Amino acid sequence: MDSYVVRVWLPDRPGALGQVASRIGAVRGDVVGIEILERGGGRAIDELVVTLPEDHLVDLLVHEIDQVDGVDVEDIRALHEGGHDPGLAAVTAAARLVDARRGEVGQVLCADTVANFECDWAVVLQLDPPSTVAAVGEPPTASWLAAFLAGSEHLDVGGPSEGAPDDIVWARLPACNHAFSAGRKGRPFRLRERRQLAAIARVAERMLELHGASNNQN
C-alpha cells in the first residue's frame, strides 16, 4: 500500500469530512490519519494520511475529493519512509534540543525543522549585529532577515508569525538576542505548524539561555 499526505479545504460543518472519507473509499483508499491544521471563516484545512492500493489512483483520488461540494485539494504528496506523525515529531525535536550539546542547539533546531516540516531552509540568527548562528539549506542573508523581522513585528498578532506570508515562519528568541526562521515554497505554513514551530523555538531559546548562563559561570 502506498501512502500519501493530502491537504484539503472543506466546509467547517458536520458531515463534510465524512463525505470526503466516502470519496476516498470509493477509490479503495483508506484514511489512516487526520490532523486539523487551521480553522476559520467557516472552513477548515485538514491534513489526511491516505493509503492507496496502487499509485495510479492518485489522480482519481484528487478528482473524487474535488467532487464534494465546497472541498478543494490544496496539496498531495507521497509519504516518505518513516511515517507521518507531526505530534511525535515535535516532541522528538524538543527532546533533541534538550539533549544537544553546547553550541549545537541552533543546528539541531534548523535540521529538525527542515526534516520534519519539509522546509527549503531554516536559520538561527543573531539580531544585533545580524549574523548567522546556524543554518540548513540556503536562507536569505542575516542582514536581510533581521531587517525583515524588524519590519514585521506588527504581524505577530496572535503569536509568532501568525500574520506572516504563507512561505515563511519565524520566532523571536529575545532572551539571547536571536531569532529563528524557516521557509518553503509550494505548500503554505498553516496555523498549527506555526504554533508547533513557535513552541519548539521556545525550547531552543531556553537551552541557549541555559548554555549561556553556564558559560558565564565558567
User: Taking the CA atoms of the chain, what radius of gyration do you get in angstroms?
Assistant: 19
Q: Strand order in 130-136's β-sheet?
A: 130-136, 121-127, 178-183, 168-173
Dist CA 101 CA 121 (whole Å): 22
Dist CA 171 CA 180 (whole Å): 5
pLDDT digit string (tens) for 179-204?
A: 999 999 988 999 999 999 999 999 99
User: What's residue 102's pLDDT?
Assistant: 84
Identify the segments of the chain with pLDDT beneath 50.
Answer: 214, 216-218
DSSP 83: -
Total-model pTM = 0.85
User: What's residue 83's pLDDT?
Assistant: 65
* Backbone φ and ψ of 131, nearest 5°: -160, 150
Q: Which residues pair with 111 in a beta bridge?
A: none
Q: What is the dihedral of CA 127, 129, 132, 134, to 10 degrees?
A: -60
Q: Which residues of 32-59 are buried (b: 16+ CB within 10 A; e: fewer)?
A: ebebebbeeeebbbbbbbbbbeeeebbe
Do the beta carbons of residue 22 and residue 67 sit within 8 Å? no
User: What's residue 215's pLDDT?
Assistant: 52
User: What's residue 82's pLDDT?
Assistant: 59
Q: The cell 524588524 sits on which residue?
A: 150
Task: Kindly state the helix (H) or strand (E) to which residue 82 belongs, with its residue range.
Answer: none
Q: Is 82 exposed, middle or buried (0-12, 13-18, 19+ CB in 10 A)?
A: exposed
Dist CA 97 CA 216 (whole Å): 20
User: What's residue 218's pLDDT?
Assistant: 44
User: What's residue 164's pLDDT?
Assistant: 84
Task: Kindly state the helix (H) or strand (E) to which residue 210 belongs, with its residue range.
Answer: helix 191-217
